[in-house]
Amino acid sequence: MFKSFKIYLPALFSLLNSNQNEFYSFVSRLTTLLLGSLFYILVPLRLTSIELGYYFTFQSLLGLQIIFEMGFSYVLLQNAAHESSRLELSPHGWGGASLNLTRLKSLFAIVSRYYTLACVLFFFSISAGGYLFFSRVNAILFTPEIQVIWIMLTLISAINLYISPWTSMVEGMNGVVTVSILKSFQVLVGYLLAIVFLFFGAGLYSILLIGISSVFVYLFWYRQNSHYFNILDLGICYERNKKINFFREIFPFQVKIAITWICGYIGSQTLPIFVFSFSGAVIAGQLGFTMLAFNSLMLLTYSIFNSNIPSISACISTGDFYRAKRIFKKSFVKSFVLTFSTGMCLLLAIFYFQYMHFAISSKFSNFIVCTAVFGITMLSFVSYCVANYVRSFKKEGFILPTILSAILIPVLFLSPIKSDISYVMSVFLILQTFINLPFVAYNLKLYFFNILQPVELK
């Protein structure tokens, strides 16, 4: 076994040897995976089955922040990458063409106004809506202690929502490495605190520490990387027609991404909510834990692809489509190999745990559901990579499949098979495959195989 690791690990890191962005992004996600794995091993051991169900349902409800963000963080990354590709960053700040400086500064101003409003709306609506949901499902289990945790969790999530666009901007401005270091420290501090408190019996209160520590680590990081934000202090003011127009340049693209993201949320992350309603907290906790395990591995391998998105966008902005396609192909293959291999290892491990009747196996869904979740993970990976490549052209090619996928969930839970989670997940995987793969093929044909000349970027 040791010999196989000596062979496998150098091969793994050689995949990441092509650029610094990939390496730091991978290390950031690896830190998340390792500490997150330890945390999520303790979660089912230190939380009761009821608390576990509440925990994963909390996470699903907090995912509704995409309704308020509307995919803006991704739009910001793309716009920041396009504008900063013609600027120079020094220890003192930005310099370069006045037009691009003006547009970048106006983008910062838009972010501040938009996210202030979005975070306030998110906190009041989600905290109140979640309170009503849990009270109606089971008012007895929704104790005053859990109520306090829920309100505090939504407040912390709102603060972190305000932070998220600024890190997206820095990533787009060729700051993938520094943002990866930030995220690594956020994970390191947050999960270590949560693990200690969870181990000593803090229960659901321990999850609050992840968000709280994330805010404090960000504030420290901001002071160390203020040169990325000095554009706000330049004091320049050019003609209005040279600034980024939100409703003309951002909003149309944002709405398309928002529809895709919201429907994607409904098509996957609402599963624990529906299961919580129809099958109870225990089954919802098992499904949530299973999805979390596969999603954690997926986020690790996504880091390789995500770290190349700013470079792809910059190449497209300057018309270098050959290099953009080459970066996409190379990063996609690396990510796919790692996603499939790690997913298969996890699936086989779950099978072994359940076959040997280990205690941890009771926290996962049955093997049929686990297999379906793995299939959905792989399908989501392929769709995600192709969709983000297409978005580098400021286009959105996956609106229709995500809308159809979102419709599937309530339909399945209104059908006679709603009481059997194995049937629900198997049918969901089959239908998802027939919906998504044709659109993957179509978008690759349009934006990868047929792209020879520059296209209009609105």
Q: What is the pLDDT of residue 58?
A: 87
d(CA 146, CA 380): 33
Q: What is the pLDDT of residue 15?
A: 47
Q: What is the pLDDT of residue 438?
A: 92
d(CA 284, CA 51): 11
CA angle 182, 308, 223 (to 5 degrees): 25
d(CA 97, CA 78): 19
DSSP state of 288: H
CB atoms within 10 A of CB 181: 17
Per-10-residue mean pLDDT, the chain, length 458: 42 50 68 75 79 82 84 82 77 72 83 91 92 83 87 94 90 82 87 89 87 92 82 54 77 81 73 74 81 78 78 82 89 88 91 87 87 91 90 84 82 71 84 90 88 48
Confirm whether pTM is higher than 0.85. no
**3-class DSSP state for residue 95?**
strand
Q: What is the pLDDT of residue 317?
A: 78
Tokens standing for residue 310 = 């700013």
Q: What is the pLDDT of residue 120?
A: 94
Q: What backbone torsions phi and psi does residue 130 show, to the nearest 5 degrees?
A: -65, -40
Q: What is the pLDDT of residue 201?
A: 82
- SS3 letters across 201-259: CCHHHHHHHHHHHHHHHHHHHHHHCHHHHHHHHCCCCCCHHHCCCHHHHHHHHHHHHHH
d(CA 406, CA 420): 19
For residue 215, CA distances in Å to 115, 268, 385 come to 16, 28, 29
Q: What is the pLDDT of residue 351?
A: 92
CB atoms within 10 A of CB 416: 7
d(CA 227, CA 170): 10
* Residue given tokens 């270091």 in the structure block: 181
d(CA 457, CA 321): 13
> At 93, which helix (H) or strand (E)?
strand 93-96
**Could you tell me if 21 and 176 are in contact, meaning their C-beta atoms sit under 8 angstroms apart?**
yes
Q: What is the pLDDT of residue 358?
A: 86
d(CA 353, CA 365): 12
Please choose, from the candidates 450, 180, 174, the residue with its C-alpha nearest in 3D space to the C-alpha of residue 312: 174
